A and B are shown apart, each in its own frame.
Chain A
Amino acid sequence: MLRRKILYSLLVIVTITSLLVACAPAKKSGSGGGGTLIVGRGGDSVILDAAAATDGESWRVAGEVIEPLVRLEGTSTKVIPWLAESWESKDGLTWVFHLRKSVKFHDGTAFNAAAVKWNFDRWMDANNQWRFGRTFEYFDTEFGENLKIVETKVVDDNTFQFTLATPSAVVLAKLALTSFAISSPTAVQKDGDKYGTAAGSTVGTGPFMFKEWVPNDKITLVRNPNWWGTGPKLDSLVFRSIPDNSARLAEFLAGTIHQADLAQTDMAAAEADPNIVNYNLPSLGVGYIAFQQCTKPFDNVDVRWAISMAINREALVKNFYTKQDTLAKGFQPPAIMGSNPNLPAIEYNPDKAKERLAAAGFADGLKTEFWYIPVIRGYFPDSKAIAEAIAVDLAKIGVTVELKTEDWGAYLDDRNQGKFPMWMLGWGSDNGDPDNFIGWHFAHPIGEPKQEDCYNNDKLSQLLLDGAKEPDVAKREKIYQDAEQIVHDDMPRLPVAWPASRTFFRKEVQGYTPVVFRSWYENLSVEAKK
C-alpha cells in the first residue's frame, strides 16, 4: 500500500515554497555528447542509501547511481538481467545469480559476489555494524516473514546464491526494486553514517556517478565513462527540487528544466506547448466493480455477467477518465505478466444482459446496494458520477441499485469484512509482478474464500499459488493467462478501466520510450538549443 502510493507519487507533486535558482544551460561537450539533462521535481530526496529510503524521490536518484541485480524491462514488467547476467533456480527455494564480470564500482573497487553478499548481509542482519542505526523497511517487508532469506553464499567470485525459507518466483520482481541496489562496501565503510546523505557520497556501479548534493536545491550526477552498459549519452544529470508547482511549470515552459513532474492542473498548459512532449506511461493498475458472492443475488454467475453486460464501460471510460486511460479488457493491464490478450471482449449488450438476468430467475429485476468510493483515485477519477451513470445503466435492465458511500477508512474496513453486496475499488501494482496483481486479488487458501467477496474457486486459487512458486518464466506466464481466463468466465470482479500515468519532457530530449518505474536516463540525450 505504502509503496504503491509512493510510486504513484513520483508523478504527483508536493507544494511548499518557491525556489528559483540559476541553472546551467544545456551544452554540448564531453565524451558522452548528450549534454546536461535537468529534472524538475516537487521535493528533494531523503537518502540515497536506497535500502533505507521509503520515498520515490530518493529511489529515483539512487537508481541511477546504484543498481540492483535484475530490473524490469520497462514497457512491460518482464524481469531482465542487470548486474546479474543470468540466474537459475530448480525448486524456487535456492536462487543462483551469475554476476556480470569485470564490473567496477565508481570508487574503482571490484563488483563481485562478495560485495553482493556484503550488501545482503547488511540488509538482513539487524546487528550488522554497517547499518548506522538505519532501518531497511522495504527489505523487512519484502523479505520478511513469508519470504525469508535464510542463507547467503559466495559460490565463486561471480556467483552469488541465496536460499529462501519457502519457494517463490516473486523474488525476482522484488529484487528489481531500487531498494535492493548494490552499494560499494568500501565506500559504505569509508563514509560511515554519512553514506547516502548530502554530506557523504553514494557509490555504486550505475551509469551516473554521484557528484554533489545541495539539500533542497539539487543533486548533480555525472556520466560514468566506465559503465558496463552502452552509454550513457548524457554528461550530467541534475535533479532539482522546485516545490512550487507554478514555478516548476514556468521553468519547464521556459526550457530551463527538461523533465518536470506536473500537478494535474498544470498538465493542460504543458500539453498545449509545442516544445513539450507528453508521454503516456503503460498502465499498472485497474479500476473494478466487485460482487459479494456469499449472498444472493451475486452468488449466481449469470447475475454477475448480466450486470457486466449492462454497464456501458466504453462510455464511462470516454466520459469520466482522462484520454490516457483505457477500457480494461481484462483484470491485468498488458504491462503485467500474464495479461491475457486472447480474452473475449466483455460486450455491452443490455438485451443479452436481461436474458441472463431472467435465466438466473430475476426476470422482474432485482434490488441491491452499490457502494462507491468517497475519494478520487486514478482508477475511479469521479467515483460518484461514475456510480450514478452505472446505476442508470443497471436501472435499464431492471436492476435497482441504492448508491451508498461512507468515509474512506470505514469503507475499506467494511469491504474487507464483506459487508458490501457490490462495490467499486482499484489497484496499482507495487512491483509489477502478477502475484502482486491477479494473485493478490484471487488467491486464497484452498477451500477458504476471502471474506471480502466470498469468491471460491479452488482451481484458480491453486493456479495462483503455483504461479507464485514457478521459477520458469514461460510456464509462469501461461499459468497467469489461464488464471485470467477463469476470472473472466467467473466474473468475480468486472474490470472497468486501466488508468495510466504520464510524464512530460522538453522536445529537445531524445531517446525516451514510455516505461514504468524508471526513466532510463542512460538512453537519453539533450539536443543543443539553437
Chain B
Amino acid sequence: MLDTTAKEINRLAQDSVLSRKPRSLWGDAWRRMRYSITARIGMVVTLIIVLTAILSPIVDPYEPKLDADLDNARQPPSAEHIFGTDRLGRDIFRRIVHGASLSLSVGIVAVGTAGIAGTILGLVSGYFGGWTDMIIMRIMDILLAFPSMLLAIAIVAVRGNGLFNTIIAISFVGIPGYARLVRSMVLTLREQDFILAARMVGVRAPIIILRHILPNSLSPIIVNATLGIGGAILSAAALGFLGLGAQPPAPEWGSMISDGVPFLRQTPHMVFFPGMAIMLTVLGFNLLGDGLRDALDPQMRE
C-alpha cells in the first residue's frame, strides 16, 4: 500500500510540474510584484502620475503665459483653490497637475538617454576590453569624480538655462553609472559557456552582444533606470529651484518651490504642495524600482 501511494504521489507531482506552463523571468517578476505591498504602492503612484501627465493637457488645456490673477495672489487653500494660489494668483493645484508632464518627461527622457548611451559604452567597453575599455572607463571615472549636481549646474551654465539643457545635463551626468553597471554585467557574462560556444561557432561580436549579452543584462538596467527616474526628477527640481531649469512661466515644480520660499512663514502652502508633489513622485518611482529589483533578482526565484 505504502509503496503504491508513494508512487502515486510521485506521479501526480511529476504530472503537475510537467503540465505546468513554464514560467518566464518576466512572468515570475510580475507575479512577485503583485504580492509585494511596497511595489504595489509604487505601481499605483507611478500610474497616477503618468496618467496625470498624459491626460492633463487633454482634459484641461492650460496656457501659463496668460495665467495671472493678481487680486487673488497668495490665497491659502480653499474650496475654490484646493492648494491655494501663488504669487501671481495662479491656482497651485492646476500648476502642479500641469507640471507633472514636465517633471516626468525630464525624468524619462534624461534616464532613457543616459541609459542607452551608458549601456552602449558599457557593452563595448566590457566586451572588447583592452585599450577600448581603458579609455572609456577612465573617461567615466573622470565624470564620476565630479559631484553630479555641480557638473549638471556647470553644463547648464555653459549651455544656457532651459528645460532642454536641463535634460542634457541630467542625461550626461547619468551616463557613467550605467556604463559601469553594464560593463560589470558583461565581464561576468563574457566568460560563460554559452558565450564561448557562440564565439566558437563563429558568431560575430555585434550579434553576441545584442542577442546574448544585452538580454541577460537587461534586468539590472531596468531596475537602475526606474530608480534613476526618481533621481532625475529630483535633479530637475533642484535645477529649477536654482532658476536654471524650465523658465517662467512654465509650471515646473522646483521653480514653484523657489517662488514660495520668500513667503515660507506667511504662506507655506506655496512651498508645501509642490514639495509634496516632488516627494510623492520620487517615492513612487523608488518603490517601483525597489519592487522591480526584488522581483527580478534571480536569487529570489522560487
Contact partners of B262 in chain A: CB under 8 A: 382
Contact partners of B73 in chain A: CB under 8 A: 319
Contact partners of A389 in chain B: CB under 8 A: 68, 70, 88
The segment out of B44-52, B166-174, B243-251 that lies at the interface is B243-251
B66 CB to nearest chain A CB (Å): 5
Interface membership of chain B positions 65-78, coded 1 if the CB is closer than 8 angstroms to chain A and 0 otherwise? 11110110100000
Contact partners of A323 in chain B: CB under 8 A: none
Whether B259 pairs with A384 at a CB distance below 8 angstroms is yes
Interface membership of chain B positions 141-172, coded 1 if the CB is closer than 8 angstroms to chain A and 0 otherwise? 00000000000000000000100000000000
Interface membership of chain A positions 379-407, coded 1 if the CB is closer than 8 angstroms to chain B and 0 otherwise? 00010110111011101100010111110
Q: Complex Cα distance A403/B248, Å?
A: 6
- Decide: A315 near B70, CB < 8 A? Known: A385-B87, A404-B247: yes
List residues 21-76 of chain B with CB under 8 A from any CB of chain A: 65-68, 70-71, 73
Whether A385 pairs with B88 at a CB distance below 8 angstroms is yes
B89 CB to nearest chain A CB (Å): 9
Whether A395 pairs with B247 at a CB distance below 8 angstroms is no
Contact partners of A395 in chain B: CB under 8 A: 65-66
Give the A-B pair count, Cβ closer than 8 A: 47
Contact partners of A396 in chain B: CB under 8 A: 66
A514 within 8 A of B: no
Q: Complex Cα distance A343/B70, Å?
A: 28
A377 CB to nearest chain B CB (Å): 14
Q: Complex Cα distance A125/B67, Å?
A: 62
Contact partners of A391 in chain B: CB under 8 A: 65, 248-249
Residue in A312, A388, A395 with the greatest tally of chain B CB atoms within 10 Å: A388
Residue from B243, B247, B248 in contact with A374 in the complex, judged by beta carbons closer than 8 Å:
B243
Interface size on B, as a range, is 10 to 19
Q: Complex Cα distance A318/B67, Å?
A: 18
Whether B247 pairs with A392 at a CB distance below 8 angstroms is no
Main secondary structure of the interface of A (DSSP, over half): helix
The chain B residue with its CB closest to the CB of A394 is: B65
Q: Complex Cα distance A495/B248, Å?
A: 23
Q: Complex Cα distance A312/B89, Å?
A: 15
Q: Complex Cα distance A471/B73, Å?
A: 50
Contact partners of A388 in chain B: CB under 8 A: 68, 88, 248-249
Residue from A382, A393, A405 in contact with B87 in the complex, judged by beta carbons closer than 8 Å:
A382
The chain B residue with its CB closest to the CB of A407 is: B157
Contact partners of B247 in chain A: CB under 8 A: 402-404
List residues 95-133 of chain B with CB under 8 A from any CB of chain A: none
Q: Complex Cα distance A318/B73, Å?
A: 11
B244 CB to nearest chain A CB (Å): 10
Whether A392 pairs with B88 at a CB distance below 8 angstroms is yes
- Decide: A387 near B243, CB < 8 A? Known: A382-B262, A395-B66, A400-B65: no
List residues 394-430 of chain A with CB under 8 A from any CB of chain B: 395-396, 400, 402-406
Q: Complex Cα distance A245/B248, Å?
A: 35
Residue in A312, A315, A391, A400 with the greatest tally of chain B CB atoms within 10 Å: A391
Whether B259 pairs with A392 at a CB distance below 8 angstroms is no
Interface membership of chain A positions 38-55, coded 1 if the CB is closer than 8 angstroms to chain B and 0 otherwise? 000000000000000000
Residue from A385, A403, A406 in contact with B259 in the complex, judged by beta carbons closer than 8 Å:
A385
Residue from B67, B70, B88, B249 in contact with A403 in the complex, judged by beta carbons closer than 8 Å:
B249
Whether B248 pairs with A392 at a CB distance below 8 angstroms is no
Q: Complex Cα distance A374/B68, Å?
A: 21
Contact partners of A316 in chain B: CB under 8 A: 70
Whether B70 pairs with A319 at a CB distance below 8 angstroms is yes
Q: Complex Cα distance A352/B23, Å?
A: 73
Q: Complex Cα distance A411/B67, Å?
A: 27
Q: Complex Cα distance A393/B66, Å?
A: 8
The chain A residue with its CB closest to the CB of B66 is: A395
B205 CB to nearest chain A CB (Å): 48
- Decide: A392 near B243, CB < 8 A? Known: A315-B70, A385-B87: no
Contact partners of A315 in chain B: CB under 8 A: 70-71
Contact partners of B88 in chain A: CB under 8 A: 385, 388-389, 392
Whether A392 pairs with B87 at a CB distance below 8 angstroms is no
Residue in A392, A395, A400, A405 with the greatest tally of chain B CB atoms within 10 Å: A392
Q: Complex Cα distance A396/B67, Å?
A: 10
A344 CB to nearest chain B CB (Å): 25
The chain B residue with its CB closest to the CB of A316 is: B70
List 8 A–B pairs whose Cβ atoms lie within 8 Å, in order of A's numbering. Answer: A388-B68, A388-B88, A395-B66, A400-B65, A403-B247, A404-B247, A405-B243, A406-B161
Interface residue ranges, A against B (CB under 8 Å): 312, 315-316, 318-319, 374, 382, 384-385, 387-389, 391-393, 395-396, 400, 402-406
List 12 additional contacts besides A315-B71, A405-B161; criterion CB under 8 Å: A316-B70, A374-B243, A384-B248, A385-B88, A385-B259, A389-B68, A389-B70, A391-B65, A391-B248, A395-B66, A396-B66, A403-B248
